Amino acid sequence: MARKGKPKATTVKRDPSTLVAEAKPNEEQAVSLARTTLRPGVKGAVTIKEYSKKYGDLDLRGLVDELSDQAKEVNDGNLKRAEGMLTVQAHTLDAIFNNLAQRAINADHMDNLDRYLRLALKAQSQCRATMETLAAIKNPAPVAFVKQANIANGPQQVNNGVAANASRAGISENQPNKVLEQQHGERLDFGTAGTTGSADSSMETMGAVNRPQDKKG
């Protein structure tokens, strides 16, 4: 009697272009779909998949997982892959520059020569910027913390925890308003009544108004 072996495990073949949006408890499907779509790893995976069709139909879920792992490495302070990526990109941009420069020197028309040289110099500029970014990662600029010192002569007045020098240099006292005052201490005289003008003869100087006095009680 033949012995029956264990049944083989069946694997469900999934669509490499389909990504399942995982919903949180009591979360609407539209919300979970929007949250999944806005994830940086998902958006990057979709773009990489479109640009990598020559390598076959890449699995979208695998790309998302790998990008998420690499992003976590950077968040944890491991920049080795980022440094390697910038180095490779700099070499690639340098190859593009040399290719376009060689096309420019072999161009038959001046327009093609100008076009190739412009593109070559753009690739060279991007290569330089990539190397500068790599150098900044490898040798970050030191951060200086400068403590401000308030130096003043004479007494200081403290308002809300901030020391303010009453006789600080460069800050003058409020001067009298030159529009309202002719000279310091002498205000304009508003007591003189104006005379009637010839432009509007109906406008005359108002006389005194006799008001009855209010009696208390």
- pTM for the model stands at 0.56
Q: What is the dihedral of CA 25, 31, 33, 35, to 10 degrees?
A: -90
Give the span between the Cα atoms of 29 and 32, in whole angstroms.
Answer: 5
Domain boundaries, the chain: 19-78, 79-140
pLDDT average, residue stretch 165-179: 50
pLDDT value of residue 166? 47
pLDDT digits (tens, 9 = 90+) for 56-113: 989 999 999 999 999 999 999 999 999 999 999 999 999 999 999 999 999 999 999 9
Q: Which residues contact 168 (CB under 8 A, 6 or more apart)?
A: 152
pLDDT digits (tens, 9 = 90+) for 97-126: 999 999 999 999 999 999 999 999 999 999
